[in-house]
Structure 1
């Protein structure tokens, strides 16, 4: 809405105090909410600068396009350009062990820039707005100007070099990584198989093969393009291609990585991509890369007083653009920049879920879409994962360890046989994907059938006890053990039944399981709790150092137990007070504990935990656990910030949608805050500003015409307006209903002259 149109808007007083208010002030609000942001200048505040060469991957600037990516750092007297592709994994069957050995993610390799002289330093800038690195590398023989980026659209990793006279002889060399798992422990001799089988499953005593390596890689030349080809023993191929082109004083090195299975076409694809990209008109091609990022960032805007956290927030938003995109890949355990280590797979009992939490409110649904797409495309694999086999007729399961095709099964690693909740937990992410988009076709075709199957697994397991309540047999609570009435599974079971009831009603499906879901909601045993809050299970309290807060899923992200329910505050606060002080792995703990605290409105404590999370990250903003790369705790900080600014969750047991809660968990130190176009459940775009500790305006746009309830947090009398007269009803103190139709915009602000009560 422009200013002239806003002047013609009809304004209505919220009748909370029953007094009319003049309507002149909202003109300024409408103009302010649409005042332009100088995006290049704003993003430049968050660039990373390097005055010495980073010495390892934990310090390195990193780039990506949600399929391939890169890092640059010093390695001896070379600059290492490490390259990645996130969907490259082996394809062996169970006779080669569980997925860490049979289907591991594979490292690609690196290029080395070998200077003529001795490296002495650098001046680098990682430009977030353009998603590129620029600067110089200095040696005792001269300098090398550099620009580097991973093209946002094309499969191309690009490095431009302009060496001075003394460095004209600098050169690139290629160093492939052997195509094998980075997890140790595979039996080297037949006598070792028994120990392997004892740990991972007795079936391996009879079936496990002695290791046979993948075929050795080979280098081929396809015209002016060099290609490293890696065939796999189980079929398929991946390949890295590269070529360098000189124009005037600039040398442009382009590399591409392709992957194919079961076909062996990757070498041709990678070589063709390099040749094509080098043949394009350079300036428009680079601009196409920048255009993608320039469209990506402005989908939402956040500014907060703590500029260190603000920079980390925007660097996190950048990392999402690098690591996940519909049609490419989702965020797995390590993220795009896989460094090896024992977790050479996607872990599905925490990492996968929490890594995607921030994309929904950030209004970046494209970065969350691939997760559900992968499940839908590979739904047969999720069915085949079920054990006992006879349950496959109506159930589905997500194994603890999978590759990108989601293949695996419940018996592949018997340490986790009793871990059955990973699929419904991940489908909670997919439910968020639906609720923030209100795409009913997605709900009907992709989400509902799979959620139904995941809850059917629990229906096979649940039993009625002598107390007349429904109980689950002992199941696995992640990273703690097997417990009766495990809260991890009770929460997911109840949430799943509640959501299936909502979804079937929404879609008009008269599902024969509706009576059964209602019975579960009515009769399922209460979540076990004690003085420390929610327990791990009925026979196990929570540990004061339990870093994996999966026993608290009913609080977050499921909201089955929430602060708006009468009588819930004591157990909620006890649970949070148990979790927040945990000191081990603060980035991991606070990724979940911070979100719980925000749901309880504990802004000051959440901020303290958010700073602990920040301080636990590596210098480049990435994170690892015991040296093993994990990305979820890097990304999780953005979710905490968003939950401090806006929440729109719904109580799954209630029919009406949750309110859009503006600034629900701000710390007392954050007096001046603004966000624009954060997304809320029900498909609303929301903007708001707080100045001097008071909310001065709120803007809500409906994208789907869903019922709108809002808790704006504006003190005193309030006025509302837009393109027409809105009728607002205060249904409870501070919570208003508004008839906001699809495409309409609502403005809220304090009434002129109103004072805080």
Structure 2
């Protein structure tokens, strides 16, 4: 009996000791449905253009819902978009590939909803949690309820109307697949000179008109492209009664070089109809979104910034999928734009930063996946005598066929930096070695070939770059352009690092080292980084191309005082000239990405207040619409600017570069209370942290792959706990080095673990602070409301 009692006692002691020494976990208490409802967008004014319209999508297809200014008063429309609907006209020469009216995004069409009465008002809500538009449209005769969404994983659009004293007829209207740019140029409009004049002189033969057909109860609109190079089929079915409840299901597919769009659309519609009959259509749509949002969390005591951030998370989920096309300037939401391709001199690069820290890795796979898919096309974008080389021009279609000629491959190099970041945040060394390394090697070969073809005689013994371009700066062409020098330095060092990591001993290793060691230094004057050798920075410039060595490449970092002063001087000078010089330039001098770039760079310098100022500046920019969309010239969508708002906010909360993690590196005084959960860093770490009344309560870091974590915190004498056990970790040069096993976490706090509040909850918002975006009375506080509204 004694032995049994002793055994029971020992088991109790062991259990108790084990239980109470267990790691205290983060107590994450967020009801996403309730939380996101406070950020749903609302409409009490009829949207009249894409900038003010509700939008849904699944990365491939989507719709906008608005009453165009030219529409009849009793008509409101669903404007349908297909992300990869591009022209594929054959180029007779390599030079013709840059006449991008032959390779651009194309308009698709729309469904008109025609009521008996004139539309007099709306009351609509875009439910972020369920990615669904609901509401009521009021007419002079009655009302009709609406419910619509784009299925998250099936290429099917669903839209329901339910009338009271009304009748709603739904009809399809195909648009001609003609680039709007071509129409403007042919009418004498648009910019003059260069490629614009060449496109103006080009005659595009028109494709056949679409053909309408019916089969098995489905309606189809088949649109072949010119010379049968590509085709698009739109299919739909309407169930129910226009005078009662009716449901539209629609699908769109574009194919090239295959000719099977009709079969795919038919299968999509059958799948959608089957799921509806089984009562699984809505739930299967919502499952994806309900898995997507909890991948990370962020809340701040700044309702406007928090709301804007979460709408970007919705927008990103609606615009991109890992197995889809490269996210261009519009995503699934087409508008008649002058910029109907992927823009590779800044826009696409900014787009593919947002998903990283947000820990939404899968939806950002589309850029590296398509680079892998079309590597052979990238190799065809250089002169034939450049063997084993690759490049791409500044603007490109989805298949990446865009001849760069014998120029430096800067645009592809910068895109490959995004690829590298994706691998770093995923800690995917295998993909880094087997996929990124070969194409980056070919890209650096293009630099080596360029230097060989364009030697520069110089007395300093340095390797000079004879002629390249600092994007969008005028005059931005010349020798030793800092934009190019930064990309060469980053790409050579990255190849060397990958080679060393994997013991590759590549035969070109000596050439990369030689280029890196002998490349001319960055061009610097009393104002900091210049544009290039003979070009000071002296004109307003929305782009920060000359600062690329700082952000995002981090070739020059603020880690030592001299470099930090150089970067600060360069950044201050860029913004002073751009905002305050009073010089007139044709291009818009201050854009959304001007502000977000400035915010991220100040955050990297640790200047929280300046970082906040420019983050706030974006929302105050008149080109930000009340739905958080953004355009330049009122008609040209530029999706990366609002998405880069989220990147800048991330950079204020959490940074990871140079092998270290910096938590709350630039959290402004205004944000006294802030929490985030499972934001991601390079090295595949998930970080959670909380501030209360301006003081950091805790930091938690989890290693997904098992790595040493080098962390920098914003408080003194931190205490470290793994599995509830205290660790004595010494500071080394401002960093704390923590070895973490796979899926192991460390909690860092200024208190004892028992006294640390490890809860993460949403910060409260008053009624006035909720639902700040959409199109209605609350949005009148935004400059963009007046800018875009005709009301």
Counterpart for residue 324 of structure 1 = 320
SS in 1 for 2:46: coil
Give the gaps of 5 or more residues in structure 2: 1-13, 580-588, 756-791
Q: Structure 2 CA distance, aligned partners of 1:373 and 1:714?
A: 41
Report the CA distance shift for 1:263/1:586 in structure 2 as closer, same or farther (over 3 A): closer
Residue pairs, 1:600-679, within 5 angstroms: 600-616=605-621, 617-627=624-634, 628-650=636-658, 657=659, 659-679=660-680
Measure, in 1, the Cα distance between the counterparts of 2:266 and 2:503: 51
Contact 2:470 2:545 in 1 (8 A): yes
Contact persistence 1:111–1:174 (CA under 8 A): yes
In the alignment, the residues of structure 2 paired with residue 290 and residue 331 of structure 1 have an alpha-carbon distance, to the nearest angstrom, of 22
* 1:512 match: 507
- Partner of residue 774, structure 2: none
Equivalent residue, structure 2, for 1:15: none
Displacement after TM superposition at 1:182 (Å): 1.6
Aligned to 1:81: 78
Partner of 1:124, secondary structure, is strand
Structure 1 portions without partners, runs of 5+: 12-25, 412-416, 651-656
1:619 is displaced (CA, Å) by 1.3
Cross-structure match for 1:589: 594
Cα distance change of structure 1 residues 121 and 715 upon mapping to structure 2, 3 Å threshold: same
Displacement after TM superposition at 1:183 (Å)? 1.0
- Matching residue of 1:283: 279
Q: Any idea what SS the aligned residue of 1:320 has?
A: helix
1:535 to 516, 526, 530: 530
1:199 aligned residue: 194
Corresponding residue for 1:358? 354
8 Å contact kept, 1:719–1:751: no
Structure 1 residue 7 displacement after superposition: 8.1
Residue number in structure 1 paired with 2:769: none
Query: 2:691 aligned with 1:690, yes or no?
Result: yes
SS of the aligned residue for 2:181 comes to: coil
- What is residue 484 of structure 1 aligned with on the other side? 479
Q: Secondary structure at the match of 1:409?
A: coil
- Partner in structure 1 of residue 565 of structure 2: 570
- Counterpart of 1:266? 261
The question of whether the paired residues in 2 share the 8 Å contact of 1:6 and 1:722 is answered with no
Whole-angstrom distance in 1 between the partners of 2:681 and 2:268: 39
| Aligned partner of 1:303 among 287, 299, 303 | 299
Q: Distance in 1 between matches of 2:680 and 2:145?
A: 41
Match of 2:116 in 1: 116
Q: Rate the CA distance shift 1:574–1:6 in 2: closer, same or farther, 3 A.
A: farther
Could you tell me how far 1:721 is from its partner in structure 2?
2.8
Q: Report if aligned partners of 2:718, 2:748 keep a CA contact under 8 Å in 1.
A: no
Task: Name the structure 2 match of 1:100.
Answer: 100
2:179 aligned with 1:178? no
1:544 Cα deviation after fit: 4.2
> Which residue of the partner structure matches residue 348 of structure 1?
344
Aligned to 2:428: 439
Q: Which residue of 1 aligns with 2:788?
A: none
**Helix, strand or coil at the partner of 1:171:** strand
Number of the residue aligned with 2:759: none
Bigger mean CA deviation after superposition, 110-119 or 512-521: 512-521
For residue 677 of structure 1, report the CA deviation from its aligned partner. Answer: 0.3
Aligned to 1:428: 417
1:739 match: 739
Give the secondary-structure state (helix, strand or coil) at the position aligned to 2:280. helix
CA distance in 2, matches of 1:113, 1:101: 32
Bigger shift: residues 179-188 or 261-270: 179-188
Displacement of 1:517: 1.7
Residue number in structure 1 paired with 2:240: 246
- Alpha-carbon shift at residue 468 of structure 1 (Å): 1.8
The Cα offsets for residues 569-602 of structure 1, whole Å up to 9 and x where unpaired, read as 2211112112345343331211322211111111
SS of corresponding position for 2:552: coil
Which residue of the partner structure matches residue 380 of structure 1?
Answer: 376
Which residue of the partner structure matches residue 779 of structure 2?
none
Query: 1:398 is matched with which residue?
Result: 392
Cα deviation for residue 264 of structure 1 reads 2.0
Using structure 2 for the length normalisation, give the TM-score.
Answer: 0.86
Question: Structure 1 residues 573 and 7 mapped into 2: Cα distance closer, same or farther (>3 Å)?
Answer: farther
SS of the equivalent of 1:567 reads helix
Q: Distance in 1 between matches of 2:742 and 2:76?
A: 53
The 2-side partners of 1:292 and 1:682 are apart by 26
Does the 8 A contact of 2:704 with 2:743 survive in 1?
yes
Q: Please give the residue correspondences for 1:469-480 in structure 2 after superposition, counting only pairs within 5 Å.
A: 469-480=462-473
> What is the TM-score normalised by the length of structure 1?
0.90
C-alpha displacement at 1:508, in angstroms?
A: 2.0
Number of the residue aligned with 1:65: 58
- Structure 1 residue 145, shift from structure 2 partner: 0.8
Q: Give the direction of change, closer, same or farther, for the CA distance of 1:697–1:6 in structure 2 (3 Å limit).
A: farther
Tell me the distance in 1 between the aligned counterparts of 2:203 and 2:178. 14
- Tell me the SS of whatever aligns to 2:488: helix
Once the two structures are TM-superposed, the CA of residue 8 in structure 1 deviates from its matched residue by 4.3
Greater Cα shift, 327-336 or 640-649: 327-336
2: CA distance, partners of 1:212 / 1:47: 45
Separation (CA, whole Å) in 2 of partners of 1:353 and 1:5: 53
Contact 1:100–1:181 under 8 Å retained in 2: no
Number of residue equivalences:
712
* 42-51 or 510-519, larger mean C-alpha shift: 510-519
| Greater mean deviation of Cα atoms: 124-133 or 282-291 | 282-291
CA RMSD of aligned residues (A): 2.6
* Aligned mates of 1:680, 1:447 — CA distance in 2: 19
Determine if contact 2:413/2:443 at 8 Å carries over to the other structure.
Answer: yes
Question: Do the aligned residues in 2 keep the contact of 1:9 with 1:724 (CA within 8 Å)?
Answer: no
What is the Cα deviation at residue 212 of structure 1? 0.8
Is 1:227 paired with 2:220?
yes
1:211 maps to which of 204, 216, 221: 204
Give the whole-Å Cα distance in 1 for the aligned partners of 2:512 and 2:131.
48
CA apart distance, 1:707: 2.1
Distance in 1 (CA, whole Å) between partners of 2:66 and 2:535 is 47
The structure-2 alpha-carbon separation of the partners of 1:347 and 1:177, relative to structure 1 and needing over 3 Å to count, comes to: same
